[in-house]
Each structure stands twice: as C-alpha cells, then as structure tokens.
Amino acid sequence: MELSVKLHRKRAFVTGAASGLGAAICMELAKDGWTIGMCDNRDKPLRAKMKEVDAAGGTALRHMFDVTDRAAYQKGVKTFIHDAGGIDLLVNNAGVAGGGFVGDYLLDDWEWLLNINLMGVVNGCHYFVPYMKEQRFGHVLNVASAAALAPVSRMAAYCTAKAGVRMLSEVLYNELYDYGVGVSVLMPECFRTNLHERTRGQVAETGKWLLENAPYTAEQVAVAALQGVERNQLHIFFPRNVRLWWWFSRLAPKPFIDFIRREGEKRYKNAEFGMRNAE
C-alpha cells in the first residue's frame, strides 16, 4: 500500500479490532507488516484475530478494554506509545447499533449507544491527538456511517451518534491542519458485519437481516477506507452512491430528507418480507 510508504513507521491503533471492519482493517495492514494495537473488550475473539494478524505478517499488540472506560483508555494509549514508539494511524472503529422510534427507544439505550459510538471516538482522539501534534505527523480515521447524512426513521440514536463523529472529524481536520496530521471520516453504506450481535431496540431483528443481506463486505470497506487515508481524503464514502447522497443532502436538504424517508420504509418492508420468507 502507498499508505505504508507515506506512514513508513507503520504503527496503528485500531478499536473494535476483534471482528468486522476493525478486524478487516487490521488484516490489510498486517499484509504490509504493520505493528497494530488491537483493542476490543471481548478477549477470546481478540486473541483469535491477533493470531491471524501475526500470521499475515503484522505484529499484534493486545489492548483489552472498553472504549468508554476513560482511565483504561488513557493507560492503554500510554502503553501503546511506549511499546510502539509512537502512533502513525489511529482507527476509531468500535461501535454498536440500535433502533427504535423516538419515545420508544429507551433512554438507557440512547446513553449506551452514544457513549460507545460517539464518546468512544472522542476518547480515542482526546488521548492520542496530543502525541500526534507533538510528532507533527500521523492520521486519524474515524468510522462514521452513511447514517451520518441520512435521517433514517427508527434510527435516531445511531444517526445522531454518527453525525457527531462526522462533525468531530471535520473540526479535528481544521485543528490539526497546521500540524501535518491528517483526518478522515469514513461513511459507508450498510455492509455485512456482526454489528447486529450488539444491537438494542425494537428493530434489532430487522437490522440483523439488513446486515446479513447487505451487498458489501467488511473487507471491501476496509480497502476503500485505507485508500481514502492514502489520498488524505477528509470524507471517505463507500460505495459511490453515498457521495451522491452527500451532495443531494447539501444542495436540496428537504427533498433529500423526503427521499430518505421513502427509501427507509422501502428497506424495512423488504427486510420484513425477507424474514417472513426465511421462516
């Protein structure tokens, strides 16, 4: 990868690294011999994925903590910086899903989702960015979603969190511009992952069906993400239609919102039809 030439020290820290997109990014980096701080709060799958990363040519460093645990995160960052000698690429990927109408989706679930999907990213930036500013190099990749653009009914908590990640990334881009540190925010469409295993709310089963039947893989998204970082893109869209959504949302916001309402209902109906046929 050109990224391995650009960030030739090849030291990355990836959250949510035991499965899904995080694991796929780790495997892509491992092919080029990166040292990777692999962070997750699930020990057994983390250890299993670390073995795969080592076998693929990378060097996996185990970091077992929850991204919402600030004290553990701060300690983990200090340990990684000491062991790796610095940080070249931070991937804030850890996330969960949830869905339900506003007023029905429990406030405890709102707090749970926002703490992981938004504050987990904030924590990563808060503790790693000072080292990057001191180094005056490196790159931050924050994983949001096409949901950062699209106001999907029943997904208010998830959309709110991902929109927050997008705005955080845009502000961080400006703050780090003069330090030579790059920032990207990844906004992919729905892709196949095990995110449904950590889902709360009334539409969990519908979300599971949509994820399991999505047309894209985590590996495809990982490649697109790292290529976007190579190009120093602030906004990384996958697939191409998400870029069209971006322009649609900015040039004609009300028609775009109406389009998302209709598209969302169509997808829910397709999912319900698919689940009935599978029974």
Q: Which residues are catalytic?
A: 158
**How far is it, in rounded angstroms, from Cα 123 to Cα 134?**
18
Where in 59-103 does DSSP place strands (E)?
59-64, 89-92, 97-99
Which helix (H) or strand (E) segment is 182 a member of?
strand 182-188
Q: Find out whether 216 and 192 touch, Cβ atoms under 8 Å.
A: yes
**Residue 109 near residue 103, CB atoms below 8 Å:** no
CA distance 248 to 147: 14
**Residue 179 main-chain phi, psi, to 5 deg:** -100, 0
* Helix pair 120-135, 70-84: axis angle to 10 deg: 30
**Cβ atoms 35, 11 nearer than 8 A:** yes
Q: Please state, in angstroms and rounded to a whole number, the distance separating the CA atoms of residues 25 and 17.
A: 8
Output the CA–CA distances (angstroms, integers) from residue 216 to 105, 166, 256, in the order listed. Answer: 28, 22, 23
Tokens standing for 275? 């689940």
**Residue 132 has which token pair?**
């990057």
Rounded distance, CA 198 to CA 204, Å?
9
Residues 155 and 203: their CA atoms lie apart, in Å, by: 9
